[in-house]
Amino acid sequence: MDEKMDKLDFLILRELQKDGTMSLTIIAKKLNVSIGTIRNRLARLMEDKTVQIIGRIDPNKVGFHAYSRIFISVKPAKIIEQTAQKLSTFPEVSFLAMISGKYDLELNVQCRDNDHLIELMEKIHALEGIFETETNMYLKVFKFAQPDLDLVKDIWVK
């Protein structure tokens, strides 16, 4: 946890998770602090990338019908991060992480359809160092959420 964050920061974040369009005035009233305090805190949280205010879109409702998780093995291992950097530039990639286990990287991709996914897989396999992949399709997503800040409440409610 960032040392600069305190209980008020977490309370602001929790309000924004409930409604990212909530006005600073309403947040200030709910938390019983000045709007200037909220504005300054939020500016700092955005500047250090703790929070980004975005619109969460349901991929299926806007035309992305092939949502997949791809595991990738990279050889030689010394180019894992270089490969990850290249993969991160693909617009279809919504999540990318180095992982432990049989594979080196895990990424989630959102494609229009299966043909689009096949085109993407061809681009991925053309990258230097891609040794093996395993692709799992998400057939139906039941939950897609941000972290629940109450799970770390013991850290900030002191």
Per the structure, the complete domain to which residue 77 belongs is given by: 66-137
Give pLDDT, residue 143: 86
87 found inside a domain: yes
What is the number of domains present in the chain?
Answer: 2
Mean pLDDT of the 39-48 span:
95
Q: Does one domain contain both 132 and 70?
A: yes
Q: What is the pLDDT of residue 2?
A: 46
Q: Confirm if 126 and 87 have CB atoms less than 8 A apart.
A: no
3-class DSSP state for residue 115? Answer: helix
Query: pLDDT at position 158, please?
Result: 56
CATH number at residue 34: 1.10.10.10
Is there a domain that residue 148 lies in? no
Considering the domain boundaries, does residue 153 fall inside one?
no
Q: Mark whether 41 and 70 lie in a shared domain.
A: no
Please enumerate in sequence order all residues whose Cβ is within 8 A of that of 111, keeping only pairs 6 or more positions apart, or say none: 64, 65, 66, 67, 68, 92, 117, 120
Q: Residue 101 maps to which CATH number?
A: 3.30.70.920
Q: For 63-117, what is each residue's pLDDT tens digit?
A: 999 999 999 999 999 999 999 999 999 999 999 999 999 999 999 999 999 999 9
List, in order, residues 6 or more apart from 147 with CB less than 8 Å away.
Answer: none
pTM of the model: 0.80
Q: What is the pLDDT of residue 1?
A: 47
Q: For residue 149, what are the CA distances in angstroms to 1, 4, 13, 106?
A: 12, 16, 8, 25
Instruction: Indicate the average pLDDT of the chain.
Output: 92
> 17 φ, ψ to 5°?
-65, -35
Is residue 142, in this structure, part of any structural domain at all? Answer: no
Q: What angle do CA 140, 114, 121 make, to 5 degrees?
A: 110
